[in-house]
Chain A
């Protein structure tokens, strides 16, 4: 019997698999494919202070082994999410993680505080790394001092554990991780997308209306593995790993690099059942490589 359960701050996960923020909406669409209670947790699409309409289209472009997106944090606003989306997800037997975003410190604070009003959300994922909004977002994610400051503000405003979602668009990921750990982060989630661009030959202009977009999918997995491998040795808080996961073997690779749980994003678009299938497949893969639990595999790939 392989033990898939894992305990993280604020989260008792029956397995380490959760859909990544922004790739699963608020779960309604995928709940028609399978029972969401099967998931380790659900990370909701980012919430901002007010409703955001997002960027013009085209918002996505396919790349070699991946895709670019620039949705622009389209969401109905935190109040509406708490009113209509959280109760829907609360019907399932799985913890809910709210991804929070903002353009200003005040907005982050307001959104974080708003989630205190519900007892149905179990943790916050602090999005300081969205590359697709003009103001805020990524600036908070590329400067260690600003990242630490927004982490402190959110920690103070919220009564929930805070997982800070790191941007890979930095030269020194470890200093970012250490800065937010020191500022009180309960965990990390990494990596967000890498900023990229694709130029459309017939029109001779960037294909994505926002010009740049965030690269995700299989193409970024080696970068995610490398960053988690480095960061996990430098911090004492757990990491939710993400970036190009498509299979249970990929999940084990993330665990070996030092992640304690994982999130699956882009792969949901190709196969709406992917999270469910990976949950079924994971015990076999863990067993194949000689592990009896998820816990046991964490960080076992690190060579001193």
Chain B
């Protein structure tokens, strides 16, 4: 992890309240692993904003982020245009393990703004010759993003809660309709992760968590999650944000 300046190369709105930015930094693009995040300083706000890495291109030295405008900080970030420099800590955290014992097929289960890090993961796994299946949940039609990109990785089911696009329902309704897979990776809101990990409790799985963060480096103990054995907490920023599904108590 380093503290660095990243130049905004491009910015575009990809769905309702959802912004994609391409950021330039050689070191971060060369070291970022799927599941890691950037801790971004926005204006003079006291706390940085953690944003997951949606894609990474080592040749061009760029990192892609996708974030949802959900408060003052992300609102301001969304106003920044190409050419502006961002003060960033990154890449941070332990990403998704990608050297599992020869799985042939994996399932990605994403919900809302938890979907972007799964794209970088899926792309990396596909490059390793692994089959990638995806079940992606959004609130409604205007929230859908990265659909084409996931379809290029492999079979994907798009689910909307209100049925305005793709299948109607929740991602958990489609986990047994996508085909066979050896293990799963998931990122999304806690209730979704809870339902997914309960339904897939017999499968090996990894989940990525989000929480309000302070320092982002493991010093302040703000973003913690209880462990399943009840022996304390794990730090989401430093021990995670990716955990084995059975490791933490959601």
Binding site for B on A (CB under 8 A): 22-25, 28-30, 32-33, 45, 51, 53-54, 57-63, 65-67, 69, 71, 74, 217-218, 266, 268-273
Query: Judging by beta carbons under 8 Å apart, are A59 and B3 in contact?
Result: no
Q: A28-B218, A29-B215, A54-B224 are in contact. List 20 more A-B contacts (CB 8 A).
A: A25-B218, A25-B219, A29-B218, A29-B238, A30-B219, A53-B226, A57-B211, A58-B212, A59-B212, A59-B223, A59-B224, A60-B213, A62-B45, A63-B46, A65-B44, A69-B222, A71-B222, A74-B224, A269-B46, A269-B220
B123 in contact (CB, < 8 A)? no
A33 — nearest CB in chain B belongs to which residue?
B3
Query: Judging by beta carbons under 8 Å apart, are B212 and A61 in contact?
Result: yes
Residues of B within 8 A of A217 (CB): 46
Query: Judging by beta carbons under 8 Å apart, are B46 and A62 in contact?
Result: yes
B178 in contact (CB, < 8 A)? no
| Complex alpha-carbon distance, A278 and B210, angstroms | 32
B1, B211, B222, B226 pick with most chain A CB within 10 angstroms: B222
Residues of A within 8 A of B48 (CB): 269-270
| Complex alpha-carbon distance, A30 and B215, angstroms | 10
Query: Judging by beta carbons under 8 Å apart, are A269 and B221 in contact?
Result: no
| Complex alpha-carbon distance, A29 and B1, angstroms | 11
Query: Judging by beta carbons under 8 Å apart, are B212 and A60 in contact?
Result: yes
Cβ proximity bits B197-228 to A, threshold 8 Å, 1 near / 0 not? 00000000000000111111111111111100
B89 in contact (CB, < 8 A)? yes
Residues of A within 8 A of B73 (CB): 62
Query: Judging by beta carbons under 8 Å apart, are B47 and A62 in contact?
Result: yes
| Complex alpha-carbon distance, A289 and B45, angstroms | 29
User: Chain A nearest CB: distance from B244 CB in Å?
Assistant: 20
Main secondary structure of the interface of B (DSSP, over half): loop
**What would 13 A/B residue contacts be, using CB atoms closer than 8 Å?**
A23-B220, A25-B218, A29-B238, A53-B226, A57-B212, A60-B220, A61-B212, A63-B46, A65-B46, A67-B47, A69-B220, A269-B46, A269-B48
B80 in contact (CB, < 8 A)? no
Residues of B within 8 A of A61 (CB): 212
Residues of B within 8 A of A28 (CB): 218-219
User: Chain A nearest CB: distance from B106 CB in Å?
Assistant: 29
Query: Judging by beta carbons under 8 Å apart, are B222 and A268 in contact?
Result: no
| Complex alpha-carbon distance, A11 and B42, angstroms | 38
| Complex alpha-carbon distance, A272 and B90, angstroms | 12
B27 in contact (CB, < 8 A)? no
Interface residues of B in 33-79 (CB under 8 A from A): 41, 44-48, 73
Residues of A within 8 A of B215 (CB): 23, 29, 268-269, 272
B179 in contact (CB, < 8 A)? no
